[in-house]
Amino acid sequence: MQRSLPFLLLSCLGVVSAVLQNITVDDTSPDVLYGGKTFQCNADNACQGVDASLEQLYNESTTFTEGSITFSFSGVAYYATIDVLFGEASVIIDGGPGTSYSSLDAAGNFTIRHNISEEGLPSGTHSLLMLPSPQSNTVLGFDSLTYTVSLPDPPKTKSHAGAIAGGVVGGLAVLFGLLFAALYSHRRKLILRRNQRKSAVLQSMNIGRRNFGQNVDVKDPVPAI
Ligand SMILES: *[C@@H]1O[C@H](CO)[C@@H](O)[C@H](O)[C@H]1NC(C)=O
Ligand SMILES: *[C@@H]1O[C@H](CO)[C@@H](O)[C@H](O)[C@H]1NC(C)=O
Ligand SMILES: *[C@@H]1O[C@H](CO)[C@@H](O)[C@H](O)[C@H]1NC(C)=O
Ligand SMILES: *[C@@H]1O[C@H](CO)[C@@H](O)[C@H](O)[C@H]1NC(C)=O
């Protein structure tokens, strides 16, 4: 998967903690399993009874079937439409109790197209089953399905950058420390040597003063540090 620059920038800033991405599958996808005879409605085949024009269909096609429709996906949500041309069908996720959809509403009017969706599914593999009622000569139409994948936490850009920055800062700190220690020890040596020189000079002056009785005002030739 390609990651956009804004995405990377955001993840660098630690703004993005989880990435959700929608993936849409067409009714023609081999991942969609039909448990019975199918008839595809597209530009070449008439779409009698489809509750949407061809242009409104995803990839301009819908598959009709008298059998079940099964689709498995790894994600946290799905969104789809189900066309119930005749009869009734149940939409079941992960073998749950299921929800019923009918081609007729309570008032007896045709309601072919139904939006089906579920959000907040636990992250993992899910199985969606659209099951026609065997009693009612049901015909289902399936156009497309969108499911949401939750990608693992964004690239460790932040922590890598942090580790690198930490390493660089740490390395520089050590370097400066060593440099400082070297300079300090050099300076100490210089001071030591200078003090030695100073006491040698003072000593010789004192000797001179003693020898010649001169009243020499001995001042430090080098200021003390
Ligand atoms: C995925 O698609 C659904 C339905 O169109 C939409 O409500 C949802 O916000 C989308 N999610 C993402 C992450 O794009
Ligand atoms: C759309 O349909 C064509 C022809 O059936 C197919 O080759 C193509 O993969 C489909 N596109 C998608 C996104 O499913
Ligand atoms: C159902 O159909 C009747 C007449 O056939 C109509 O009066 C009514 O408004 C329709 N109800 C709905 C919810 O569309
Ligand atoms: C189904 O969703 C579409 C938008 O995706 C909306 O226009 C339509 O009104 C919805 N139908 C029902 C019955 O909620």
User: What are the tens digits of pLDDT across the range 34-83?
Assistant: 999 999 988 888 777 777 788 888 999 999 999 999 999 999 999 999 99
Judge whether residue 12 has pLDDT over 50. Answer: no
Q: Are residues 133 and 185 in the same domain?
A: no
Judge whether residue 117 has pLDDT over 50. Answer: yes
Q: What is the DSSP string of 42-81?
A: SSSS--TT-SS-GGGSGGG-EEEESS-EEEEEEESEEEEE
Judge whether residue 100 has pLDDT over 80. Answer: yes
| Whole-number pLDDT of residue 222 | 56
Judge whether residue 145 has pLDDT over 70. Answer: yes
pTM over 0.75: no
User: Mutation test of ligand 3: which of 51, 103, 105, 109 has the most ligand atoms closer than 8 Å to its C-beta?
Assistant: 109
Q: What is the position in ligand 2's atom list of the atom closest to the CA of 26?
A: 14
Joined together, the tokens standing for residue 151 give 């990608």
Q: Establish if 55 belongs to a structural domain.
A: yes
Structural domain harbouring 186: 165-202
What three-state secondary structure class fits 151?
Answer: strand
Q: Establish if 125 belongs to a structural domain.
A: yes
Higher-pLDDT residue of 120 and 1 is 120
**C-alpha dihedral sign at 74, 77, 83, 84:** positive
Joined together, the tokens standing for residue 2 give 């390609």
For residue range 177-211, list pLDDT tens digits in order: 667 667 767 777 776 777 777 776 667 666 556 66
| Whole-number pLDDT of residue 81 | 93
Residue 4 backbone dihedrals phi, psi, to 5 degrees: -75, 160
Which residues, in sequence order, are CB contacts of 152 under 8 Å at separation 6+? Answer: none
The total domain count for the chain is 2
Q: Are residues 28 and 74 in the same domain?
A: yes
Q: Establish if 209 belongs to a structural domain.
A: no
Q: What is the position in ligand 3's atom list of the atom closest to the CA of 108?
A: 1
User: Mutation test of ligand 1: which of 21, 22, 115 has the most ligand atoms closer than 8 Å to its C-beta?
Assistant: 22
